[in-house]
A = this chain, B = another copy of it.
Amino acid sequence: MTLDARMKERCAQVERALDRWLPPATAQPRQLHESMRYSVFAGGKRLRPALLLEACAAVGGEDDHALPAACALELIHTYSLVHDDLPCMDDDDLRRGKPTNHKVFGEALALLCGDALLTHAFLLLAREQVAAGVPTVVAAEVAAVLAEAAGSGGMVGGQAVDMDSERKSVGAETVEYIHRHKTAALLRAAVESGALIGGAAPAARAGLATYGAELGLAFQITDDLLDLESSEEALGKRPRQDEQLDKATYPKVYGVERSRQLARQCVSRAKAALECLGENGALLGQLADHVVERTG
């Protein structure tokens, strides 16, 4: 199976599970549940849950055990986009080719929608993981890994520094801090959670965590480059927004060519960290290449 076909399969698998585990749009309060489903089913690539599922599979774990955490992760990612698009943050009106959540449902409901998605993620981690047969001690550890990666010492912390760095002259250290926290922390946690659920040995868990962190940094550098060079059609959102908000990006600090090189170095480190998995790491290796080669 090609990587592309495999990713399509993962995407469908995750979307079926998300549909099962999200409150139905007919349940009260309807508008809130509609808004949650609007953003969750707005056409994401499901990279984070796919990484979690593939990491779990790479160490011999079962998809059924990993699906609740994979869905929780996608809800965390989606909530962060809904809040990030709000007027007081990046003030975006287009996401994945569709109007952003607050453009459709209003700011108050978009705020609450994000809050509800984040909360629901932890309901899946506490309830559906256990129902799926994940040992409670592992379920608790996965919830802790994801909460840590998503919180003030991870994603939200990275976003805070990102906002604070707009229209400032920032150095290499700051932009690496932002990217490692706002993006790479959650990708690393995706891979580490999959390893935990799959029962990885300590060495494999550590290797996968490094893989996830390096892949995550490569992903965000590539995002910066795409924002600069791609079209609205390919991105599904307005390009050159970083420039307009004068964001701290790798191209701003290093220039385009050096940024591309740094992203490739991350991918090399990511792939090197997979060596302990042997043949079982092949698909994750292909995924790492894909992340820097994508066009949207």
Per-residue contact bits, chain A 127-160, to B (CB 8 Å; 1 contact, 0 not): 1011000011101110110011011110011011
Among A125, A126, A135, A163, find the residue whose CB has the most chain B CB atoms closer than 10 A: A126
Shortest distance between the CB of A249 and any CB in chain B (Å): 18
Q: Say how far A181's CB is from chain B's closest CB, in angstroms.
A: 8
Chain A count of residues within 8 A CB distance of the other chain: 56
Instruction: Name the interface residues of A18-57: CB closer than 8 Å to any CB of B.
Output: 23, 27-29, 31-33, 36
- Residue A284 is within 8 A (CB to CB) of chain B in the complex: no
Q: Which of A109, A112, A159 has the most CB of B within 10 A?
A: A112
Q: How far apart are A79's CB and chain B's nearest CB, in angstroms?
A: 8
A109 adjacent to B144 (CB under 8 Å): no
User: In the complex, which residue of chain B has the Cβ closest to the Cβ of A86?
Assistant: B111
Q: A144–B163 contact, CB under 8 A?
A: no
Selecting from A113-121, A213-221, A252-260, the interface stretch reads A113-121
- CB neighbours (8 Å) of A83 from chain B are 111-112, 115
A161 within 8 A of B: yes
Residue ID in chain B nearest A87 by CB atoms = B88
A107 within 8 A of B: yes
The one of B86, B123, B152 that contacts A116, using a Cβ cutoff of 8 Å: B152
Would you give the shortest CB distance from A95 to chain B, in whole angstroms? 17
Q: How far is the CB of A19 from chain B (nearest CB, A)?
A: 15
Kindly state whether residue A201 has any CB partner on chain B within 8 Å.
no
Interface residues of A in 275-292 (CB under 8 A from B): none
Whole-angstrom CA separation of A31 from B140 in the bound complex: 29
In the docked arrangement, what's the CA distance between A139 and B137, Å?
9
User: Cβ of A140 and Cβ of B126 under 8 Å apart?
Assistant: yes
Contact: B119 with A157, CB < 8 Å? no
Does A9 make an interface contact (CB < 8 A)? no
- The complex places the Cα of A116 from the Cα of B147 at a distance, in Å, of 9
Quick one: CB contact mask for A151-182 with B, threshold 8 Å, 1 for yes? 11100110111011000000000000100000
Nearest residue in B to A150 (C-beta to C-beta)?
Answer: B119
Give 12 new A-B contacts, CB below 8 A, not counting A112-B160, A116-B157, A136-B139.
A27-B153, A28-B161, A79-B115, A88-B111, A109-B160, A109-B163, A115-B118, A126-B140, A127-B144, A129-B140, A135-B136, A140-B140
Ordered by A's residue number, 28 sampled pairs between the chains whose C-beta atoms are within 8 Å are A23-B152, A23-B153, A28-B157, A28-B161, A29-B160, A29-B164, A31-B160, A32-B160, A83-B111, A88-B107, A88-B108, A89-B108, A115-B118, A115-B156, A116-B151, A118-B118, A118-B119, A122-B125, A122-B143, A123-B147, A123-B151, A126-B140, A126-B144, A130-B137, A130-B140, A136-B136, A139-B140, A140-B140
